[in-house]
Amino acid sequence: MNISWQSNSYDLISFLLSLMILISYSLFIRYKTKKNPAYTVQAVNAIARTAWVETIMQGKGKEVLAVQTLRNSTMAATFLASTAVLLIMGVMTMSGQGDRIESTWHVLNITGGKHAELWLSKLLLILLDLFVAFFSFAMAVRIYNHVGYMINVPLDLNHKMISPAHVAIHLNRAGKFYSIGMRAYYFVVPLVFWLFGPHFMLISSLVLVLVLYRLDRTPKILIDHYPTQD
């Protein structure tokens, strides 16, 4: 009983430490973005989307460009949502074959628990993460479709709820859901490595944060030219 609890405690500690690492990184990015709105690529993309909507709606003859751009975004989100469904099906298939593949996955598991209940709990967390990814990408597709109608409404009609600022809010909301979906994909990495052992999960979380920092951060030359907020 004590041995079982000790082996499971390694998994619990590694999970909590990995969760703290990811949450701390998210809070750090939010803090830096609050001081400088151009600190992350996502923030710069939001600024670019707002400027793009204003350019499209105030210009003439750019309706086709708007539709093509939104179609590309919709296709990307649709592909990623479909991929999430395939991964969900794969994980559910693994859950039904746990008795045959657990021994293979646990070859490198030195300190973690090897109980069937723990194995299913890990798969359940992976499923939950993939469902978040699917929902986020599906919401992005939904909002992209709405924006496709709104962005081509002539400004001459003077609709108060279909102004460039209002349309930009919807487009940035779609971009936010898209970013959440990608984050969910990234977080699958440490969860999958958890199947091999708790120490692999902790190491992969640290590596993931380092990679995300390189991907999220705007090039320093752009940050230096954007005013910060004290």
**Average pLDDT for runs of 10 along the chain of length 230:** 57 88 92 85 89 85 84 94 94 72 59 68 92 96 92 78 87 94 94 86 93 85 55
Inside any domain, residue 179:
yes
Contact in structure between 112 and 130 (CB atoms under 8 Å): no
In this predicted structure, what is the pLDDT of residue 2?
Answer: 45
9: left (phi > 0), else alpha (psi -120 to 50), else beta?
A: alpha
Backbone φ and ψ of 76, nearest 5°: -65, -45
99 belongs to a structural domain: yes
Q: Is residue 46 part of a domain?
A: yes
- The number of beta carbons lying within 10 Å of the beta carbon of residue 179 is 18
pTM of the model: 0.84
- Evaluate whether residue 229 is within a structural domain: no
β strands within the chain, DSSP E: none
Does 92 map to a domain?
yes
Q: Which amino acid is at 140?
A: A
Q: Return the structure tokens found at 140.
A: 């992005």
Q: Which domain does 77 fall in, by range? A: 2-218
The amino acid sitting at 84 is A
Backbone phi, psi, residue 26, to 5°: -65, -40
Find out whether 62 and 55 touch, Cβ atoms under 8 Å. yes
Judge whether 226 lies within some domain. Answer: no
Does residue 230 lie in a domain region? no
Find the helix packing angle between 164-194 and 116-150, rounded to 10°. 160
Domain count, the chain: 1
Question: Is 224 inside a domain boundary?
Answer: no
